[in-house]
Amino acid sequence: MTGVPDRARPLIGAHALLCLLLGGTALWLGVALDAVALWGFGAACLLEVPPSLSLWGRLQDGLGNRGLERERVTLRTVSVLLRLLALGMGVVVATSLSEAQGTQTQPMVPVLAGLALGLLAALWLAKRGHQGTHPALDLDAVRSRALLELAALLLVGCLLGRWFPWAGGITALAMAVRLFLSGQLLARATTLSAVACGGCGGGGCG
């Protein structure tokens, strides 16, 4: 695994920064427009920042055991918050049939969704080059793909919302299901020692 942390660290740092910028923008705009899918995507992006920063710190130490427990606690916490976010989105959509009406006349929303989709796709493709080198990097790629899928759902929902008023609500529900599944995956992953340290090749553990 020689050199892998050095090559992967810029990608993880860029991912954290991108999630912070996209998440803050989408959350603010989603709340302003009362669009559940949009603020849900923003919150999901922001929840990706702590795990990315934790992994970035471990990469500085060569993916050894230093910071390992902190990373696992972070992932467990995020797994709970993702499931709570999913449930919250479901409740809001169920009690507000007019969701996403504001997004139909706002051209910046599909632009934001398309930009997020393109940038997240580029990062995910770059991260695939490190797939199989370490379980922690594999899990990071899985989280990136989940955000990519959310961005795709958001873009589709924004485009369909121009013709179908109910598209925003359906999109938000689909995103909520994806977020809940992501939370469950993280919860299972943190119980596996292989995710934390397996595959280090004996060079960085300790």
Cβ-contact 154, 115 below 8 angstroms: no
Average pLDDT over residues 183-192: 80
The answer as to whether 205 is a domain residue is no
CA distance 128 to 141: 7
Structural domain contains residue 178: yes
Report the candidate in 35, 15, 46, 61 with the shortest Cα–Cα distance to residue 179: 46
Task: Express each pLDDT in 134-160 by its tens digit.
Answer: 888 888 999 999 999 999 999 998 888
DSSP state of 129: G
Nearest to 55 by CA among 182, 192, 181, 195: 195
Instruction: Please say whether the beta carbons of 182 and 153 come within 8 A.
Output: no
Q: Write the single-letter amino acid at 180.
A: F
The count of structural domains within the chain is: 1
In a domain, 202, yes or no: no
User: How many whole angstroms separate alpha carbon 178 and alpha carbon 188?
Assistant: 15
**Residue 2: how many CB atoms within 10 A of its CB?**
9
96 in a structural domain: yes
Distance in Å from the first CA to the final CA of the chain: 15
Residue 189 lies in a domain: yes
Report the largest interatomic distance among the alpha carbons of the chain, rounded to a whole angstrom.
Answer: 57
- The whole-number average pLDDT for the span 28-56 is 92
Task: Please state, for a pLDDT cut of 70, what percent of the chain lies above it.
Answer: 83
d(CA 6, CA 81): 30
Domain range for 140: 4-196
DSSP-derived 3-state class of residue 138: helix
pLDDT digits (tens, 9 = 90+) for 52-79: 998 888 887 767 667 678 888 899 999 9
As a whole number of angstroms, the distance between CA 106 and CA 62 comes to 45
161 found inside a domain: yes
Q: Which H or E element spans position 65?
A: none
* 132 is a domain residue: yes
The pTM (predicted TM-score) of the whole model is 0.85
Question: Is residue 172 a part of any domain in this protein?
Answer: yes
